Chains A and B, each alone.
Chain A
């Protein structure tokens, strides 16, 4: 009897989650924000395609190499910037928007648990993010095959799969963060402003500030060249190494850095590039990337979980006055 009641309750909760998720999914699919970001991602891929095609016909080896690497970097950077924007665009008004419209009270006046609402929204967001990043991942793979001449081996497919999962993860991390601020904020504009400030800090401010902070910690640099000596001084080289190391550590406060480290490693090291009949092959294996970079992935996963669990806990315990 108790078991049957429990089963009925679980069914009712799942049903509510699916109803909310279906409504959210339909809203998101109809939203201009999603299509603008998806169009930008597709445009960047097409742009990269043109650039890499130019590289393959260039007669200068260094230019070819530089353009190819820049092409790969373009793709990961575009996801590192637009993925978080997509996450924020989908989630910044998830709860605050319902509050502002007054629809949250109408929903809560029905026999629905509060967690069904947030779970439904999270599920819809997850589906949209998987769909968008799935399309982006397929485009990247198409680029790899058509332009880089990459063969579809199990190893390469796994790398693309992981790259897509990683792109989903960075987008999801910002989606979870956006939901958290939408739960905490009374107004969607406040939630959006906070999310944009955090995103801008991670994407632009921290990379620049990391050098300034590292420089301030290390003090003024030594002279580059000692009088009467040829070449750059050893002290300067040592200083530059420390500066790079320290600023790199500071940049690790940014989620985007964690994504980029792994994404670049996955994309650069495993790509088999065929330029002018010569093959350039990276030697770092998938196992090496994962064993060295697992903690970057862990940070992304933990951040996403902490944001989502916090949103859940706060929303479930809050009251609509």
Chain B
């Protein structure tokens, strides 16, 4: 099976609200797949459908080859989920919480305890196994949340906003943990409204807006798609004004340049096409000593802003 998740025209309506609206998504096996969108974009509803917690209004969805409507129990046997707004039994220890959940996963008590201790070690909470959850910080609870998601060693792990509300250090630890889990060959789907998380930990991403997936693919594909549609940018930094003027004078000879911005000793060249070879050749021909020459890849904030504007929204990134 190439894809762990495949959806086709997936919709979920709450009255007049289209929480998920015709989503076609394919999540390749072994990837860290980010679902990005700001609050209310439909990420949580989409995840809830995939995890078998919510039934779709229409459309199809398969998770690990099982249909989300008819075989949700089979899906829940095989996935690990960290839902949004989850919580634990605060008066119980971390270990007791995990044992209870592992038993519900189908393990006998002895296996449940053994596995609970293993996952507590993975998330770095083994020393707090006997502590009551009420004494845990937000970050510790979040790590415990990830621990419960990997209890049954699932093929697919779905994490809904795993770093929300956590201090930067705690969030960094969680991202490291996700990367470690993913390195073990698991497919991880992570929903987030933090753009930099996509770049830091994901290999693939889908961008959602108003219940729709407006872009989907590997990070490289997404960046290329943006460049192909919205152009390329190159930055040249030189040592003196003379070099700046020389480049400015000759750069117009390259076809396809839209604009050139000069900021002191730095020049930004905008083009609709990939002209990096032509610029290199020009710099060689005019014999200008260059400090740096690089292509500026669009940041995730820019990608989102472009897509958001394209789909009719106001940019608030």
Report A's interface with B, CB cutoff 8 A. Answer: 12, 16, 19-20, 23, 27, 30, 101-103, 105-113, 319-321
Say yes or no: A320 contacts B54, CB within 8 Å. yes
Instruction: Name which residue of chain A comes closest to B86, CB basis.
Output: A102
Say yes or no: B76 contacts A111, CB within 8 Å. yes
Quick check: which of B21-29, B87-95, B226-234, B263-271 contacts chain A, the rest being far away?
B87-95
Report B's interface with A, CB cutoff 8 A. Answer: 14, 44-45, 48, 51, 53-55, 73-74, 76-77, 79-81, 83, 85-91, 100-101, 103-106, 148
Docked Cα-Cα span, A20 to B104, in Å, equals: 8
Say yes or no: A320 contacts B48, CB within 8 Å. yes
14 pairs, A vs B, C-beta closer than 8 Å: A12-B106, A101-B88, A103-B87, A105-B86, A106-B87, A107-B104, A109-B51, A109-B81, A110-B76, A111-B73, A111-B104, A111-B106, A319-B53, A319-B54
Chain B min CB distance to A321 (Å)? 7
Q: A111-B77, A113-B73, A321-B45 are in contact. Are A105 and B106 (CB under 8 A)?
A: no
Docked Cα-Cα span, A103 to B141, in Å, equals: 12
List the B side residues contacting A112 at CB < 8 Å.
76, 104
List the A side residues contacting B76 at CB < 8 Å.
109-112
Say yes or no: A110 contacts B85, CB within 8 Å. no
Docked Cα-Cα span, A67 to B57, in Å, equals: 66
Say yes or no: A110 contacts B101, CB within 8 Å. yes
Say yes or no: A105 contacts B83, CB within 8 Å. yes
Q: A23-B100, A111-B106 are in contact. Are A105 and B88 (CB under 8 A)?
A: no
Most B CB within 10 A of own CB, among A107, A320, A321 = A321
Docked Cα-Cα span, A103 to B79, in Å, equals: 17
List the B side residues contacting A111 at CB < 8 Å.
73-74, 76-77, 104-106
List the B side residues contacting A106 at CB < 8 Å.
83, 86-88, 101, 148
Say yes or no: A16 contacts B55, CB within 8 Å. no
Chief secondary structure at chain A's binding surface: helix
Chain B min CB distance to A173 (Å)? 28
Q: Which 8 A-B pairs have the closest CB atoms?
A: A102-B87, A109-B81, A105-B83, A101-B87, A111-B77, A110-B104, A102-B86, A111-B76
Say yes or no: B53 contacts A320, CB within 8 Å. yes
Say yes or no: B104 contacts A102, CB within 8 Å. no
Contact partner, B101, options A27, A30, A107, A320, Cβ 8 Å: A107
Instruction: Name which residue of chain B comes closest to A113, CB basis.
Output: B73
Chain B min CB distance to A211 (Å)? 46
List the B side residues contacting A16 at CB < 8 Å.
104
Most A CB within 10 A of own CB, among B14, B74, B76, B90 = B76
Say yes or no: A103 contacts B88, CB within 8 Å. yes
Instruction: Name which residue of chain A comes closest to B77, CB basis.
Output: A111
Chain B min CB distance to A225 (Å)? 66
List the A side residues contacting B91 at CB < 8 Å.
30
Chain A min CB distance to B11 (Å)? 15
List the A side residues contacting B77 at CB < 8 Å.
111
List the A side residues contacting B85 at CB < 8 Å.
102, 105
Given pairs A102-B83, A109-B81, A112-B76, 14 additional interface contacts (CB within 8 A) = A12-B106, A19-B103, A101-B90, A102-B86, A102-B88, A106-B88, A106-B101, A107-B104, A109-B51, A110-B76, A111-B76, A113-B73, A319-B55, A321-B45
Instruction: Name which residue of chain A comes closest to B112, CB basis.
Output: A19
